[in-house]
Amino acid sequence: MSRKTESQRIDTYSRITDRIIEDLVSGVRPWMKPWNAANTDGRITRPLRHNGEPYSGINVLLLWSEQMSRGFASSMWMTFKQALELGAAVRKGETGSTVVFASRFTKSEADENGGEVDREIPFLKAYSVFNVEQIDGLPEHYYSRPEIVLDTVTRIEQADRFFRNIGAVIRHGGNQAFYAPGPDVIQMPPFETFKDAASYYATLSHEATHWTANENRVDRDLSRYAKDRSERAREELIAELGSCFLCADLGIAPELEPRPDHASYLQSWLKVLADDKRAIFQAAAHAQRAVTYLHGLHEASVTFRPD
């Protein structure tokens, strides 16, 4: 990898992280921006590619932020080239929004004995996409995609079925929500103590993200959670992002205000992000992995359930 390419990669990490830090310093959790807008309950979705495939990980945060700050009603995005291939064109003067593509390539290097060893090197590529509202000449369905908004009862039934299907042991009682790794149990306050059903399922989404860390699931190390403030902050950031991703998928609103036991993490997050420009990328990737795993459990339960 050339020195220039490495510098560009580091700059991308820094530029995106600095933007998120700026929001956090002002008291705004950037991943909560979509739900803080008026009249959005039940209509938040993940940003979509031109083919309808949802974005994942850090790109969800980037495009949610762009959509809100620039006032786009559509959640669909595409590259300049993809617009051209559809016979359309980005309007003159429009500026794109940054998304990233992360992957790895294998490089052969000489080891200390003169032999060759393969080393995997991660890379990050930034590119621009445009919202369909910045593009003229697209087929009509890109501008008028029907938005199906399920009623509240249906959405809650869907969430209830989802969490039942993942197979986690969920116990109720007390006044705290947490995941206990030892007994491998999610503890939740009684349903009726929450202000509404959406708040209950938003909290459960957070704890379910923690639950995926078990070595028999996605195997995310929680051994230092209780002893290391930085590691605890990283895990709580993963769970918060996982909750937002899952809430968007289930059509329910997350916790707009941080829980009292989570509010203290703000300063810890700021320190983690300032010290490690890749931390938010890693947290988003872990959150995405956790949510994908939960969806897999749900789908497997539906697929293999006997008639």
pLDDT, tens only, 41-96: 556 789 999 999 999 999 999 999 999 889 898 999 999 999 999 999 999 999 99
Q: Is residue 24 part of a domain?
A: yes
- Say whether both 60 and 203 belong to one domain: no
Question: What residue numbers bound the domain in which 157 lies?
Answer: 152-304
Q: Are residues 214 and 277 in the same domain?
A: yes
Distance CA 241, CA 34 (A): 13
Q: Tokens for 80, please give them.
A: 């300049």
> Distance of CA 80 to CAs 86, 133, 134, 135, 140, Å?
10, 13, 10, 9, 18
Q: How far apart are CA 70 and CA 34, in angstroms?
A: 12
Q: Are residues 130 and 178 in the same domain?
A: no
Provide the domain count of the chain: 2
Instruction: Record the pTM.
Output: 0.87
Q: Mean pLDDT, the chain, as a whole number?
A: 87
Residue 160 in domain = yes
Q: How many CA atoms lie within 13 A of 296 on its CB side?
A: 9
- Rounded distance, CA 282 to CA 266, Å? 17
The residue from 117, 142, 167 where one domain ends is 142
Residue 306 pLDDT greater than 60, yes or no: no
**In a shared domain, residues 47 and 183:** no
**Res 193: pLDDT:** 93
The strand pairing partners of 101, in sequence order, are 125
Give the model confidence (pLDDT) of 127-150 as tens digits. 999 999 999 999 998 987 656 666
Alpha-carbon distance of 232 to 119, in angstroms, equals 31
pLDDT at 146: 55
- Asked, for residue 227, whether it belongs to a domain, the answer is yes
Of the residues 142, 177, 210, which one is the last residue of a structural domain? Answer: 142
Share of the chain above pLDDT 90, in %: 64
pLDDT digits (tens, 9 = 90+) for 226-239: 899 999 999 999 99
Whether 196 and 55 share a structural domain: no
Decide if 269 is inside a domain: yes
My answer on whether 172 and 269 are in the same domain is yes
Is residue 14 located within the same domain as residue 37?
A: yes
Query: Which residue, 142, 174, 194, sits at the end of a domain?
Result: 142
Return the minimum-mean-pLDDT range out of 5-14, 36-45, 101-110, 293-302: 36-45
Do 69 and 171 share a domain, yes or no? no
147 lies in some domain: no
Spatial separation of the C-alpha atoms in residues 30 and 148, rounded to whole Å:
25
User: Is the predicted pLDDT of residue 37 greater than 70, yes or no?
Assistant: no
Pair 165, 277 in one domain: yes
